[in-house]
């Protein structure tokens, strides 16, 4: 019997494809945001808000990740420049998008005509935290009905986020969500994350959020 | 529940390295897994048994070395193992912490014939 030293990161295969994706996006001057949350927190609603507000200034494409169905893709179809639906049910992982899925979705996208790519991940607070896709920014949405303890229960996804969105602010009078507790947890885990309080339903706070998105796209464009 | 893809990677790494070493059989694969990584060893072994079928890695034992989580307090630099879900620093009770160890998942070595 013989011992072989290996020392090889098991996630390297995903990370290699992710950096290739980012290179391809950079070559075409496309800025990509990976949007993650639990099911029902408002990923599609937030994407629709971005599309409505920014479609006059940016060409926006969407990749929709879901275990099954095309309902989300249908919702954003009319507003986006291009939409690709990925159904993960028959893929090696159904609980998260992975870099290889994005790589093949990018083949169907008119990248030269796109400034911003919004990637809606599968609704899940655990699995997507392990897989980078080639995105430039990672955004996590938490909504008030989920409770203010999510960063404590699922720290990894919040630790790697560039921005954290607190959605459904219109429900504040009706739920026991302590904004200060939530913000303190984020500040502890990830002091660099920008935090946004908004409601996709009433549009409260959406303007500040969309300015941030626009600013990220423009800042990245000047770097390329 | 997201172990299938990573197990495929483990099988690919093992077969590539065994090939380079001109081995005829993989006996054991030693993996290092962080306490904070979201991967479940039993689940990896389960997928491994199925994915390695009819390869020279069939029947190989996966050995997991668990790396305990280590947190670093940004306020007073204390290094500690989290005792509760709030991750507060035992020295200054600060809650601004970062993970310094415990997220890794890599193939450390293999035993082959």
Per-residue HEC secondary structure of chain A comes to: CEEEEEEEECCHHHHHHHHHHHHHHHHCCCEEEEEEECCCCCHHHHHHHHHHHHCCCCCEEEEEEECCCCHHHHHHHCCCCEEEEEECCCCCCCCCCCHHHHHHHHCCCCHHHCCEEEEECCCCCCHHHHCCCCCCEEEEEEEHHHCCCHHHHCHHHHHCCCEEEEECHHHHHHCCCCHHHHHHHHHHHCCCCEEEECCCCCCCCHHHHHHHHHHHHHHHHHHC
How confident is the model at residue A68, as a pLDDT?
81
User: Angle A206-223/A43-54 helices, nearest 10 degrees?
Assistant: 70
Binned at pLDDT 50, 70 and 90, residue B95 comes out as: confident
Lookup: tokens for A157 = 């996804």
Global pTM reads: 0.92
Task: Report CB contact under 8 Å: A4, B95.
Answer: no
Place of tokens 């219109």: A170
How confident is the model at residue A113, as a pLDDT?
96
CA-nearest residue to A128 within chain B is B2
B109 closest CB neighbour out of A3, A126, A185? A3
Q: How far apart are CA B55 and CA B32, in angstroms?
A: 23
How confident is the model at residue A218, as a pLDDT?
95
The stretch B13-40 carries a mean pLDDT of 95
Place of tokens 């070493």: B21
How confident is the model at residue A92, as a pLDDT?
65
- Cβ-Cβ contacts under 8 Å for A82 (sequence gap 6 or more): A61, A62, A108, A109, A110, A113, A114
A4 closest CB neighbour out of B38, B39, B109? B109
How confident is the model at residue A174, as a pLDDT?
97
Q: Which helix (H) or strand (E) holds B101?
A: strand B97-101
- The gap from C-alpha A99 to its chain's centroid, in whole angstroms, comes to 13
Q: How far apart are CA A218 and CA A224, in angstroms?
A: 10
CA distance A119 to chain B (A): 19
- Cβ–Cβ under 8 Å, residues B71 and B82: yes
CA distance A40 to chain B (A): 20
For chain A, list residues with pLDDT below 50: none
How high does pLDDT run on average in chain B? 94
How confident is the model at residue B53, as a pLDDT?
96
Lookup: tokens for B84 = 């509760």
Binned at pLDDT 50, 70 and 90, residue B1 comes out as: low
Tell me the pLDDT tens digit for each residue of B36-50: 998 999 999 999 999
Task: Report CB contact under 8 Å: B95, A188.
Answer: yes
- DSSP single-letter state for residue B20: H
Q: Which helix (H) or strand (E) holds B3?
A: helix B3-20
C-alpha distances in angstroms, A108 versus A72, A84, A103, B105?
18, 7, 10, 33
A8 closest CB neighbour out of B2, B13, B87? B13
ipTM for this model: 0.87
How confident is the model at residue A93, as a pLDDT?
67
Binned at pLDDT 50, 70 and 90, residue B76 comes out as: very high
Task: Report CB contact under 8 Å: A10, B113.
Answer: no
Substitution target from B5, B28, B93 for chain A, most A beta carbons within 10 A: B5
- Cβ–Cβ under 8 Å, residues B7 and A135: no
- DSSP single-letter state for residue B60: P
Task: Report CB contact under 8 Å: A6, B98.
Answer: no
C-alpha distances in angstroms, A127 versus A26, A118, B86, B88?
26, 19, 21, 25
How confident is the model at residue A77, as a pLDDT?
87
Residue percentage of chain B with pLDDT more than 70:
99
The stretch B8-27 carries a mean pLDDT of 96
Lookup: tokens for B61 = 């034992």
User: Angle B3-20/B41-51 helices, nearest 10 degrees?
Assistant: 60
How confident is the model at residue A91, as a pLDDT?
73
Q: Is B23 helix (H, G, I), strand (E, B) or coil?
A: coil
| Residues of chain A positioned with their CB less than 8 A from the CB of B39 | 130
- Residues 97-136 of chain A with CB under 8 A from chain B are 98, 126-127, 129-131
Reply yes or no on whether the pLDDT at B86 is more than 80: no
């Amino acid at each position: 019997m013989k011992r072989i030293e290996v020392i090889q990161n098991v996630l390297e295969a995903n990370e290699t494809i992710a950096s290739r994706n980012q290179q391809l996006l950079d070559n075409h001057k496309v800025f990509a945001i990976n949007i993650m949350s639990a099911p029902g927190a408002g990923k599609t609603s937030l994407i629709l808000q971005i599309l409505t507000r920014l479609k006059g200034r940016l060409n926006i494409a969407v990749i929709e990740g879901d275990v099954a169905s095309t309902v989300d893709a249908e919702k954003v179809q009319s507003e986006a420049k291009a939409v690709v639906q990925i159904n993960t049910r028959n893929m090696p992982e159904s609980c998260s998008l992975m870099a290889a899925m994005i790589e093949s979705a990018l083949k169907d996208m008119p990248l030269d005509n796109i400034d911003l790519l919004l990637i809606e991940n599968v609704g899940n607070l655990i699995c997507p935290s392990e897989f980078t896709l080639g995105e430039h920014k990672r955004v996590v949405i938490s909504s008030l009905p989920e409770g203010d303890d999510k960063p404590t229960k699922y720290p990894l996804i919040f630790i790697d986020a560039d921005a954290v969105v607190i959605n459904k602010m219109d429900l504040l009078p009706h739920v026991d969500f302590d904004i200060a507790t939530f913000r303190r947890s984020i500040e502890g885990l990830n002091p660099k994350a920008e935090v946004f309080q908004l409601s996709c339903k009433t549009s409260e706070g959406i303007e500040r959020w969309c300015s941030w998105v626009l600013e990220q796209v423009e800042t990245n464009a000047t770097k390329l | 529940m997201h172990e299938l893809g990573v197990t495929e990677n483990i099988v690919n790494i093992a077969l590539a390295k065994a090939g380079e070493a001109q081995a005829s059989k993989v006996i054991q694969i030693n993996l290092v897994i962080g306490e904070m990584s979201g991967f479940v060893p039993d689940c990896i072994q389960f997928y491994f048994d199925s994915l390695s079928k009819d390869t020279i890695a069939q029947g190989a034992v996966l050995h997991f070395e668990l790396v305990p989580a280590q947190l670093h307090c940004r306020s007073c630099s204390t290094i500690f193992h989290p005792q509760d879900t709030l991750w507060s620093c035992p020295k200054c009770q600060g809650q601004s912490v970062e993970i310094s160890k415990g997220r890794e998942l890599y193939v450390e070595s293999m035993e082959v014939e």
